[in-house]
Structure 1
Amino acid sequence: MKKEIFIETKNVQLLRKAISAALDTEKGRPGMVAVWGEAGTGKTRAAQTIYAEIGYYLRAMEGMSQCAFLQELCFEVKGIRPRGVHRCKTEIISELDGRREAIFVDEADRLNVGRIEDLRDIYDMTGCPVVLIGESGLLTKLEARSRIIDRIPESFRIAFGKIERMDVSLYAKKAAELNLTPEACALIHAEAKGNFRRVHNLMLSIESAAHALGQEAVDAELVRKAISREGK
């Protein structure tokens, strides 16, 4: 399997569109972004790919204190870790004010709501979109604070759903140079339940079986054999 293969699924396209619109949103108007979905749907990979083009990325760690969180964000934005919450926030705001770059915060559902309020302050003061990424519980946490959820327009709330069959076929072609028959593609999609991470894991077994046979075409029978081996 080729490494670092990224495909533009429908989920990714929706996220790109929301972030593009958020970057064009006038300072002072609602323009934060929320992305949520079950593990394995590709949220983190999408965020890492997009942030490399237009912003900053921070992964939230379980139990992060306010100071530790803001220090890590300040280091990502400015390359320094000041002592003290106020100085961290001041340095971040000073560095970002007037710039149109997004701040991506992954695993945001782990954050104490106070840290999300810190991000809201930074957004309000700079106008730089904050993109909150997490699992399904994220939306519930955001909806509990009206001053947070009111800054996230409906069109900027992206539920990462299951990937589609065409995504499975495209991934097989780009990552493993395999051509799936429609039946094989449907079988993989059903077995993985539309979860991108499961598709990847299953594709490793399918690729191995296809190479052993010296073929690039994959039919349903080969997929069934790979699934059978996975279950052992």
Structure 2
Amino acid sequence: MKAQLQQYMQENGMTQIQVANAIGKSVAVVNQYLKGTYKGKTEEVDEAVGRLIGRHRDKVVERRFNGEFVNTYAAERCLDAVAIAHIEGEISVITGAAGLGKTKALKRYVEMNPETLLIEVEPSCSPKVLLKNLCQQLGLSEIGLNHDLFERICGRLVAGRLLIVDEAELLSTKSLEYIRRIHDLTGCGVVLAGMPRLIINLKGKYGELDQLYSRVGIACDLGNSLSEEDIGLLAEKGLGRQDFNTALFKASQGNARRLNKLMRGVIRVAEMHGREIDERLIQSYANMLIK
């Protein structure tokens, strides 16, 4: 097992510290184990190393799954809404249930247009955090009051740029107001993407965001699930075959995220047991996923 660990470390560029952290042993134990001078229970280290290499083998198996971007109809709608906001300097809103591929489509657009600013909102994102994030992406100083940061951002952004905010339903009313003013003063396009409640948030509880909502040029609603055709495209790309499209559509419930978990799991289980993928295996693994 020592020779296997040495080969594993060499192939993956791992240090003794990384191995120690991965198997829950001290660096000294790993060092002595590799030198053949370890006086403790060598079989315990052998087992830990075996599990480490086994997990890596499972990851290699997973590479059979192709998770590259797929230009589904839903993705096309997202990309169209983003492009319109960029070209026209408009505000586009993209909503839909979780797991439909919104984030993948947004990141695809950023790959094709690297000058685009992308903010992925965290639950604790305050107006200050939002403005500092924008300053950081624009190469501006993050020091100062919110007004100072806002002024710097507006001084740098110009028409022709695009700001994408993912999971925008987590933004506070104040943060949304800052985005509206940045749009108004700079003419840059804005895309707000998130869960369906984003539309409700944009209206404001008491109509306090009417100025923002009235500026929305495009509202792209992806609904609650993907079409069978879209799921088929994703399944064919993921598995490299299309004979299980119908079974995968039913098992995934039209959700791209669930589909990806399902395909990865099916590939791994099939490899672990040396069996072929079939509809029974797909249904069996689907039953283990959270509904």
> Residues 173 and 118 from structure 1, CA distance in 2 versus in 1: closer, same or farther, beyond 3 angstroms?
same
Identify if the C-alpha distance between structure 1 residues 188 and 65 changes in structure 2 by more than 3 Å, giving closer, same or farther.
Answer: same
Shift of residue 122, structure 1, vs aligned partner: 0.6
The reply on whether 1:89 has 2:150 as its aligned counterpart is yes
Pick from 7, 22, 27 the counterpart of residue 85 of structure 2: 22
Deviation at 1:207, TM superposition (A): 1.9
1:206 to partner: Cα distance: 2.3
Q: Compared with structure 1, are the counterparts of its residues 78 and 52 closer, same or farther at alpha carbon in structure 2 (3 Å cutoff)? A: farther
CA distance in 1, matches of 2:126, 2:285: 45
Mind listing any 5+ residue stretches in structure 2 that lack a counterpart? 1-61
Aligned residues between the structures:
219
Partner of 1:47: 106
Equivalences for 1:1-232 in 2 at 5 Å?
1=62, 2=65, 4-25=67-88, 31-54=90-113, 55-98=116-159, 100-144=160-204, 145-153=209-217, 156-161=218-223, 162-177=225-240, 179-181=241-243, 184-211=244-271, 219-228=278-287
Shift of 1:43: 1.4
Amino acid at match of 1:51: V
Q: Which runs of 5+ in 1 are unaligned?
A: none
1:104 aligned counterpart, secondary structure: strand
Q: CA RMSD in A?
A: 2.3
1:94 is displaced (CA, Å) by 1.6
Once the 2 structures are TM-superposed, how far is the Cα of residue 72 of structure 1 from its aligned partner? 1.0
Partner Cα separation in structure 2 for residue 228 and residue 67 of structure 1: 43
> What's the TM-score once normalised by structure 2's chain length?
0.68
Structure 2 counterpart SS, 1:133: strand
Distance 2:185 2:99 in 1: 34
User: Alignment identity in percent?
Assistant: 23
Q: Does the CA-based 8 Å contact 1:11-1:160 persist in structure 2?
A: yes
Residue 163 of structure 1, CA deviation: 1.7
* 1:58-98 Cα deviation digits (max 9, x unpaired): 12222333222201111122353132212211221121124
Which structure has more relative contact order (CA 8 Å, sep 6+)? It is: 1
1:201 counterpart letter in structure 2: K
Structure 2: distance between partners of 1:59 and 1:116:
14
Task: With the length of structure 1 as denominator, give the TM-score of the two structures.
Answer: 0.84
Could you tell me how far 1:210 is from its partner in structure 2? 4.7
- Quick one: which amino acid aligns to residue 189 of structure 1? F
Given that 1:78 and 1:95 are in contact with CA atoms closer than 8 Å, whether structure 2 keeps it comes out as no
Distance 2:133 2:147 in 1: 14
- Aligned to 1:78, the other structure's residue is in SS state coil
Which amino acid in 2 is paired with 1:9? T
The 1:229–1:149 alpha-carbon spacing in structure 2 relative to 1, beyond 3 Å, is closer
CA pair 63-221 structure 1, distance change in 2 beyond 3 A:
closer
Residue 23 of structure 2 corresponds to none
Q: Equivalent residue for 2:53?
A: none
Contact conserved, 2:87 with 2:189, CA < 8 A, in 1? Answer: no
Letter paired with 1:81: E
Q: CA deviation at 1:222?
A: 4.0
Deviates more, 1:38-47 or 1:109-118: 38-47
| Secondary structure in 2 matching 1:58 | strand
Q: Is the 8 A contact 1:164 1:194 kept in 2?
A: yes
Quick check: which has more Rg, 1 or 2? 2
The alignment partner of 1:39 has SS state of coil
